[in-house]
Every structure is written in structure tokens, then in C-alpha cells.
């Protein structure tokens, strides 16, 4: 598949977890740029220090989903936060979800199941607030899923982006056999965000990233966070093939 939805949420660790979520979002955006993929931010909930409580983007490009699908899970960071005055190492987490984007003909949503509201889009702290109600919020009443999109300039574009994400989440629930709850719970894919439920650890004091599923270890954390993710992904792919 050549289209995916990327969702990143701050987990355990307060403001540092939100800053780590921002670092991951930037890493994937820069990696997409290196691969020549499209990367469109759909929605984000920012903190006062510039971190992300939540971040949602759409990624398009050849092989994008197959390349990033195994990024789903809890990512853990060990480092001294910028907000730490005593120089102590903190452990924080962020969860990553990578969902395939599904075409509208593959998963039909009943319009009567949707509650669509519009509002004015704006940046953090009310910056650049639009005079036109372009931001879109969609509630899927049967599942309770709520999707917001405010990054696009037109109401219609934001509505289409929100629907694309909704289809991805409904599809993910469908293939997981979530017929009883009819509620997409991210816990099924990425866990609760607890420190113990990790797929990868970014250890800054030792300059080491460990992928716990394949037991792969690499160095150059800063380089990888700047988007040179192939250093790690190539080794993981080789391990999986073996």
C-alpha cells in the first residue's frame, strides 16, 4: 500500500513525553522527505513547550506503508529533558500507530452514521485564526470515534482528510475482529503507553537505539531522529528476513 495514516500520542512522562512525540513526528516527516513521499499534517494538539499530545498525518508514496508498518507500538526515550534542572535522566514514552489508508470504495461509511461539525482553524494559542470555518470534526456515532482535521485550507479538503483517517481506523478495527465493542481502542495496537510495553528504546546517555522485537542495536540517535531512519530499518528488515 502507498498511503498510510500516522498517529503519534504522548504516553508516560508528562511534558517530556510530548516533546518526544514531537521528535518522532519530525523524524518521520524528514524520513518521508528523504524517500520522496508526501507528508501532510492533518491535526495536532500542541503543548505550551511545543510538544505534541497528539499528532496525526497522512503519508503517501511508493512502499510507504510496508516500510513503516512495523513502527506501530510504544517508543521509549531515556534522556535528560530540557526541563530538568538537576540533570537527572528521565524515562518517557510515546505511542505510534501506522494504519493503511483505505479507499472510499473499499469501506463504505453510511452518511447517517456521521455527525459533522465545522469551526475556525487556528494555530497554537489562537494564532492565524481563519475567518472561515474550515476545520472539520467528524463523530462516527456507532463506534464513538472522533476525527478532527484543520490543516487544509478548505472545508472540503479537511472533511476528506478526516474521512480518510476514519476509514483507516474502522478498517483496522474490522480486521482485528472488533465486532463486539465496535470501538477502536488504540490499546490493542500500541498498548497503554506504559514504560513496560515498549518496542524500541532511545537511550541518549549511551547513544543507542534498541529495537526490542528484533534485538537490533544501532548508534547515532541524533542522526536517526533527523530522518536517517534507514540506518535502523534496514537492519530490522534484514533480521526479519532471517
Q: How confident is the model at residue 195 (pLDDT cuts 50, 70, 90)?
A: low
Q: For each of the domains in the chain, give its residue range(s) and CATH number, in order of start.
A: 3-103+186-241 (3.30.70.1660), 111-175 (3.30.160.20)
What's the predicted TM-score (pTM) here? Answer: 0.80
Task: For residue 27, give the nearest of 202, 208, 206, 228 by alpha carbon.
Answer: 228
Indicate if the pLDDT at residue 231 is higher than 50: yes
Which whole number is the average pLDDT over 164-175? 86
What is the end-to-end Cα distance of the chain in Å, rounded? 23
Which whole number is the average pLDDT over 86-110? 89
Residue 58 β-bridge partners: 5, 40
More confident residue, 188 or 53: 53
- The two counts, helices (H) then strands (E), for the chain are 6, 11
Q: What phi, psi does 17 have (nearest 5°)?
A: -65, -40
Indicate if the pLDDT at residue 182 is higher than 50: no
Indicate if the pLDDT at residue 19 is higher than 60: yes
- Using CB atoms within 10 Å of the CB of residue 41, give its burial: 0 to 12 exposed, 13 to 18 middle, 19+ buried: middle
Indicate if the pLDDT at residue 179 is higher than 60: no
Burial of 180-211, coded b for 16+ CB within 10 Å and e otherwise, reads: eeeebebeebbbebeeebbbbbbbeeeeebbb
198-230: pLDDT as tens digits: 999 999 999 999 999 888 999 999 999 999 999
Amino acid at each position: 500500500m502507498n498511503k498510510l495514516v500516522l498517529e503519534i500520542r504522548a504516553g508516560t512522562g508528562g511534558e517530556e513525553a510530548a516533546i518526544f512525540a514531537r521528535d518522532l513526528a519530525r523524524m518521520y516527516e524528514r524520513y518521508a522527505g528523504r524517500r520522496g513521499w508526501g507528508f501532510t499534517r492533518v491535526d495536532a494538539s500542541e503543548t505550551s513547550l511545543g510538544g505534541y499530545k497528539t499528532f496525526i498525518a497522512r503519508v503517501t508514496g511508493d512502499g510507504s506503508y510496508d516500510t513503516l508498518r512495523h513502527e506501530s507500538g510504544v517508543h521509549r526515550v531515556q534522556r535528560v529533558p530540557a526541563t530538568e534542572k538537576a540533570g537527572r535522566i528521565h524515562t518517557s514514552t510515546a505511542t505510534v500507530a501506522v494504519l493503511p489508508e483505505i479507499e472510499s470504495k473499499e469501506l463504505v461509511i453510511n452518511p447517517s452514521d456521521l455527525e459533522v461539525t465545522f469551526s475556525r482553524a487556528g494555530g497554537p494559542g489562537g494564532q492565524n485564526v481563519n475567518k472561515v470555518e474550515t476545520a472539520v470534526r467528524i463523530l462516527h456515532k456507532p463506534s464513538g470515534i472522533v476525527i478532527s482535521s484543520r490543516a487544509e485550507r478548505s472545508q472540503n479538503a479537511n472533511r476528506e482528510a478526516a474521512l480518510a483517517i476514519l476509514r483507516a481506523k474502522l478498517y483496522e478495527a474490522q480486521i482485528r475482529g472488533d465486532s463486539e465493542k465496535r470501538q477502536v481502542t488504540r490499546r490493542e495496537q500500541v498498548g497503554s503507553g506504559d514504560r513496560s510495553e515498549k518496542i524500541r528504546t532511545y537511550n541518549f546517555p549511551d547513544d543507542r537505539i534498541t529495537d526490542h522485537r528484533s534485538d537490533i542495536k544501532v548508534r547515532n540517535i541524533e542522526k536517526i531522529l533527523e530522518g536517517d531512519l534507514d540506518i535502523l530499518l534496514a537492519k530490522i528488515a534484514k533480521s526479519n528476513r532471517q
